[in-house]
C-alpha cells in the first residue's frame, strides 16, 4: 500500500512538471521564439548607420530558432521612424518604408525574400509584415539581412559571395543618393536542419475509359464541352465522400492506394449511365477501369458544341444529330427561341441565339423503318427528343495591341585594354494600354559581324564578357505622370549564347553571329496589378526603355580594335502586349 501511495505521489509531481513546462512554452511562443545568439559574419550590416543617427530602425526575427529543410520558414519585421531627425529629440513611431529582405542559406547562397517577384507593385512599402520562404541548403546557420530605405532602390544582384551581394546593396543605396539618415538595417539568424523524410507509400495510377460497343473494338466515348462524361470515385473505407476525377477519363491519374467505387455518368453525353464498379488500387501499380457496351438513351439523339462569336449573335452553336442513326431521313429542329422550325436532311446545323438563357431544343427525326421511341414508348418512323440547352455569351477576340518596335540602335564603343565596352545604348518608345492585357513580351534579335581573324586565334585569347539587355517599364497616366515602374534584365549564359536568363552578369563565350529570344516581362501578380490600374483609368500607356550592351575581354591587344566592331546593328527589338480575352 505504501508503495502504491509513493507511486501516485511521483505521478502527480511529474504531471505538475509537464504542465508547468507547457505553460512556459506557450508563453514563450506568444512572445516569439528567442533568436540564436551568434556572432554575426563581418559582411552583415549589423546595425543602422551611426553618423548621423538614422531616422529609420527595423526589427527582424524568424518565427522559430531552427527549421527543417522542406518546411517553410517565417520572418517577421517591423519598421520604426523617429519623429525628428535631431539626435535625442522626439520618439519612435511605426512608419512605412521600402523593405528589402535577403536570405543567406548555410552555403552562402542569397535569395531575395522582399520585394517578392510575384507580388504587385509597391508591395514592399510596409511598416510591418510576415514573409514565408523555402528552407534550403545543408546543416548550418542561415542569416536574414533586413534593410529599409526612404525611397525605392534596385535590389542587388544575387550572384557571387555574400560579401559581394552586400557590397552591391550598399553601392545601390549610395547610387540612389540616400544619406545615412535615410536608411536602416538589422539582421537575424536561424539554424537549418536536415532529416531523412518518411517514405510514404507509392501512389496508384487509375485510368477510366467509356466505350460504345465492346472495349477496344467499339467507339470510345470522349468528354466534350457540351456533352461531358463525368467520373467519380468513393473510398469504400470509413464511408469516404464521393469525389469527381473526370481528368482520369482516358488519362492516367495518381490516387492514394485503397479500395474504391468508380462511377461514370454518361447521361449528358446521351448514353445510359453504367453500373458502378468496385476496384482495388494497389500501391505502385496501375489499374484500368472500362465501361463498355454503353447504349444511347434513345432515338433520336443530338449534341451541341463549338459556340462561335458572331457580331449579330450572342452565340452561334453547332448541333449534331449524327448519332440518331444511319436510317434517319429528315431532321426537324425547334431551337426554343421562337424562330420557328427548320427542316434539313443533314445531321449538322448551326443556329444563332441572340440572348443568353436556357432553351428547350426539340429534334424530331423521320426514319426509313420504325424505331423504338423513348418519348412515346413505342415503335414509329417519327421520333422526337427534347433537351435543355444553356446558352452563354461568346465574346469576340479582342483587338490586338500595337507593338512598341525599334528598328536599330546606335552604339558607342569604348576601348580600354584588355576590355572593350560596346554600349550601353538606350532606346525608348511608348505603347498604349487602354484595355487589360494577358501578357507583355520582349521580342529581341541581334546580328553580329563576323571576325576577320582566324577563329583559333580569337578563341585562344578570349577571356570573358557579358552580353545583355535591360528593360524598364514605366506606367503612365493620361497626362504622362508615372504611376509605377518595373525593371527586368537578361544576359547570355556561358554555356549557350542563344539562351537568355534573368539576372546579370554572367561569363559568356564569344558571341554568335545571331542572337534571338522572346521573354515575358511580367510576373502573374504584376500583371494583375497593372490590369487593375488600367481598369481604374490610372494607367493608359507604357513607356519602354531598352538598354543593350556587350562587354568583351581579350588578351591579344592587336585584336581589340576589331573586337570592338563586331556589332552591325540590333534589329527587330519589340515589346508586344497580348490583349486579355
What's the average model confidence in pLDDT over 508-522?
62
Which of 299-313, 344-358, 384-398, 484-498 is the most confident on average? Answer: 344-358
> In the prediction, which pLDDT does 33 show?
42
**Residue 174 pLDDT class (50, 70, 90 cuts):** confident
State the cell numbers at 312: 449579330
Judged against a pLDDT cut of 50, whether residue 453 lies above it is answered with no
CA of residue 7 relative to chain centroid, distance: 61
Number of domains in the chain: 4
pTM of the model: 0.35
Closest CA relative to residue 422, chosen from 410, 439, 440:
410
Of 193, 224, 258, the domain-final residue:
193
Q: How many residues does the chain have?
A: 581
364, β-bridge pairs: 332, 384
Q: Which of 19-33, 429-443, 567-581 has the highest mean pLDDT?
A: 429-443
| In a shared domain, residues 408 and 556 | yes
Output the average pLDDT for the chain: 75
245: CATH = 2.60.40.1120
C-alpha distance from residue 294 to each of 271, 291, 313, 568 (Å): 6, 7, 36, 67
Under 8 Å between Cβ of 267 and 297: yes
In a domain, 36, yes or no: no
Query: Residues 447-484, buried b or exposed e (16+ Cβ, 10 A)?
Result: ebeebeeeeeebeebbeebbbbbbbbbbbbeeeeeeeb
Q: Is 558 exposed, middle or buried (0-12, 13-18, 19+ CB in 10 A)?
A: exposed
Domain-terminating residue out of 264, 291, 318: 291
Residue corresponding to grid cell 427528343: 385
Note whether 127 and 252 are same-domain residues. Answer: no
For the chain, report the end-to-end CA distance as a whole number of angstroms: 83
Q: Note whether 498 and 416 are same-domain residues.
A: yes
The radius of gyration of the chain from alpha carbons, rounded to an integer in Å, stands at 35
Predicted confidence band at 416 (pLDDT cuts at 50, 70, 90)?
Answer: low
Note whether 375 and 409 are same-domain residues.
no
Question: 512 pLDDT exceeds 60?
Answer: no
> Does some domain include residue 161?
yes
The answer to whether residues 219 and 70 belong to one domain is no
Range of 22-36, 61-75, 100-114 with top mean pLDDT: 100-114
Cell (9 digits) for 49 = 548607420
How, if at all, do strands 328-334 and 341-344 pair?
Answer: antiparallel
Cβ–Cβ < 8 Å for 295, 309: no
Grouping H, G, I as helix, E, B as strand and the rest as coil, residue 93 is strand
Q: Which of 183, 135, 145 is nearest to 43 (CA)?
A: 145
Q: How far is it between the farthest Cα atoms of the chain?
A: 105
Supply the pLDDT for residue 363.
93
**Does residue 300 have a cis peptide bond before it, meaning omega lies within 30 degrees of 0?**
yes
Question: For 13-17, 292-296, 351-355, 414-418, which range has the lowest pLDDT when averaged over its residues?
Answer: 13-17
Segment 212-233 shows an average pLDDT of: 83
Residue 280 lies in a domain: yes
pLDDT at 516 over 50: yes
131 domain residue, yes or no: yes
Question: Are 430 and 559 members of one domain?
Answer: yes
How far apart (Å, rounded) are the C-alpha atoms in residues 129 and 348?
60
Asked if residue 483 belongs to a domain, the reply is yes
Range with the poorest average pLDDT among 147-156, 192-201, 416-425, 450-459: 450-459
What CATH number is associated with residue 570? 2.60.120
Task: Return the residue matching grid coordinates 502527480.
Answer: 12
Q: What is the mean pLDDT of residues 322-343?
A: 90
SS3 content of the chain, % helix, strand, coil (to 5): 15, 45, 40
Q: Which of 242, 315, 234, 301 is nearest to 267 (CA)?
A: 301
CA–CA distance, 171 with 165 (Å, rounded to integer)? 10
Measured between alpha carbons, how far is 581 from 566 in angstroms, rounded to an integer? 43
At residue 87, does pLDDT exceed 60? no
Is 485 part of any domain?
yes
Q: Tell me, what's the pLDDT at 458?
A: 55
pLDDT, average across residues 245-253: 89
Q: Is residue 275 domain-shared with residue 168, that is, in the same domain?
A: no
Average pLDDT over residues 289-308: 80
Is the model's pLDDT at 338 over the cut of 80?
A: yes
What number is the average pLDDT over the span 414-431? 70
171 and 316 both lie in a single domain? no
How crowded is residue 548: how many other Cβ atoms within 10 Å of its Cβ? 23
Contact at 8 Å (CB) between 261 and 277? yes
Which pLDDT belongs to residue 20?
47
- In this structure, is residue 47 part of a structural domain? no
Q: From 291, 315, 334, give the residue that closes a domain.
A: 291
Domain span at residue 522 reads 404-579
413 shares a domain with 384: no
Burial 359-372 (b: 16+ CB within 10 A, else e): bebebbbbbeeebe
- Shared-domain flag, residues 236 and 271: yes
323 within domain boundaries: yes
3-state secondary structure (DSSP) of residue 52: coil
530 and 463, same domain (yes or no) = yes
Q: Are residues 212 and 163 in the same domain?
A: no
CATH of the domain at 363: 2.60.40.10
Amino acid at each position: 500500500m505504501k508503495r502504491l501511495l509513493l507511486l501516485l505521489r511521483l505521478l502527480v509531481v511529474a504531471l505538475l512538471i509537464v504542465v508547468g513546462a507547457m505553460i512556459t512554452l506557450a508563453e514563450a511562443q506568444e512572445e516569439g521564439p528567442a533568436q540564436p545568439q551568434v556572432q554575426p559574419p563581418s559582411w552583415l550590416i549589423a546595425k543602422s548607420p551611426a553618423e548621423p543617427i538614422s531616422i529609420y530602425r527595423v526589427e527582424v526575427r524568424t518565427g522559430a530558432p531552427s527549421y527543417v529543410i522542406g518546411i517553410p520558414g517565417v520572418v517577421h519585421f517591423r519598421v520604426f521612424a523617429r519623429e525628428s531627425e535631431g539626435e535625442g529629440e522626439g520618439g519612435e513611431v511605426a512608419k512605412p518604408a521600402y523593405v528589402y529582405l535577403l536570405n543567406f542559406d548555410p552555403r552562402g547562397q542569397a535569395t531575395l525574400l522582399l520585394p517578392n517577384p510575384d507580388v504587385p507593385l509597391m508591395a514592399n512599402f510596409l511598416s510591418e509584415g510576415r514573409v514565408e520562404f523555402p528552407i534550403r541548403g545543408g546543416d548550418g546557420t542561415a542569416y536574414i539581412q533586413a534593410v529599409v530605405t526612404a525611397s525605392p532602390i534596385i535590389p542587388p544582384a544575387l550572384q557571387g559571395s555574400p560579401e559581394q551581394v552586400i557590397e552591391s546593396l550598399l553601392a545601390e543605396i549610395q547610387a540612389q543618393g540616400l544619406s545615412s539618415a535615410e536608411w536602416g538595417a538589422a539582421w537575424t539568424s536561424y539554424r537549418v536542419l536536415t532529416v531523412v523524410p518518411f517514405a510514404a507509400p507509392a501512389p496508384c495510377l487509375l485510368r477510366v475509359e467509356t466505350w460504345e460497343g465492346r472495349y477496344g473494338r467499339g467507339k470510345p466515348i470522349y468528354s466534350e464541352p457540351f456533352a461531358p462524361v463525368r467520373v467519380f470515385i468513393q473510398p469504400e473505407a470509413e464511408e469516404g465522400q464521393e469525389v469527381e476525377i473526370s481528368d482520369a477519363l482516358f488519362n492516367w491519374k495518381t490516387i492514394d492506394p485503397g479500395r474504391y467505387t468508380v462511377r461514370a455518368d454518361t447521361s449528358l453525353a446521351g448514353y445510359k449511365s453504367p453500373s458502378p464498379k468496385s476496384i482495388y488500387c494497389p500501391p505502385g501499380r496501375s489499374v484500368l477501369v472500362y465501361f463498355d457496351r454503353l447504349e444511347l438513351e434513345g432515338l433520336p439523339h443530338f449534341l451541341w458544341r463549338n459556340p462561335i462569336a458572331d457580331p449579330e449573335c450572342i452565340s452561334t452553336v453547332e448541333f449534331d444529330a449524327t448519332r440518331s442513326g444511319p436510317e434517319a431521313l429528315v431532321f426537324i429542329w425547334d431551337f426554343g427561341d421562337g424562330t420557328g422550325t427548320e427542316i434539313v436532311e443533314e445531321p449538322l446545323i448551326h443556329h444563332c441565339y441572340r440572348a443568353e438563357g436556357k432553351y428547350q431544343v426539340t429534334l424530331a427525326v423521320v426514319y426509313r423503318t420504325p424505331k423504338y421511341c423513348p418519348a412515346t414508348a413505342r415503335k414509329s418512323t417519327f421520333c422526337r427528343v427534347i433537351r435543355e440547352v444553356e446558352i452563354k455569351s461568346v465574346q469576340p477576340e479582342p483587338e490586338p495591341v500595337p507593338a512598341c518596335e525599334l528598328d536599330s540602335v546606335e552604339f558607342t564603343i569604348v576601348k580600354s585594354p584588355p576590355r572593350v565596352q560596346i554600349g550601353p545604348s538606350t532606346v525608348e518608345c511608348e505603347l498604349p494600354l487602354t484595355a487589360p492585357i494577358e501578357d507583355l513580351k520582349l521580342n529581341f534579335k541581334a546580328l553580329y559581324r563576323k571576325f576577320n581573324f582566324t577563329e583559333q586565334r580569337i578563341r585562344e585569347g578570349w577571356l570573358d564578357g557579358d552580353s545583355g539587355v535591360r528593360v524598364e517599364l514605366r506606367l503612365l497616366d493620361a497626362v504622362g505622370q508615372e504611376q509605377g515602374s518595373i525593371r527586368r534584365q537578361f544576359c547570355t549564359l556561358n554555356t549557350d549564347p542563344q539562351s537568355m536568363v534573368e539576372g546579370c552578369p554572367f561569363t559568356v563565350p564569344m558571341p554568335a553571329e545571331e542572337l534571338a529570344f522572346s521573354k515575358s516581362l511580367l510576373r502573374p501578380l504584376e500583371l494583375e496589378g497593372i490590369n487593375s490600374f488600367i481598369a481604374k483609368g490610372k494607367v493608359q500607356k507604357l513607356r519602354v526603355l531598352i538598354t543593350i550592351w556587350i562587354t568583351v575581354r581579350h588578351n591579344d591587344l592587336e585584336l581589340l580594335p576589331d573586337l570592338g566592331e563586331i556589332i552591325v546593328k540590333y534589329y527587330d527589338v519589340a515589346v508586344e502586349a497580348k490583349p486579355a480575352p
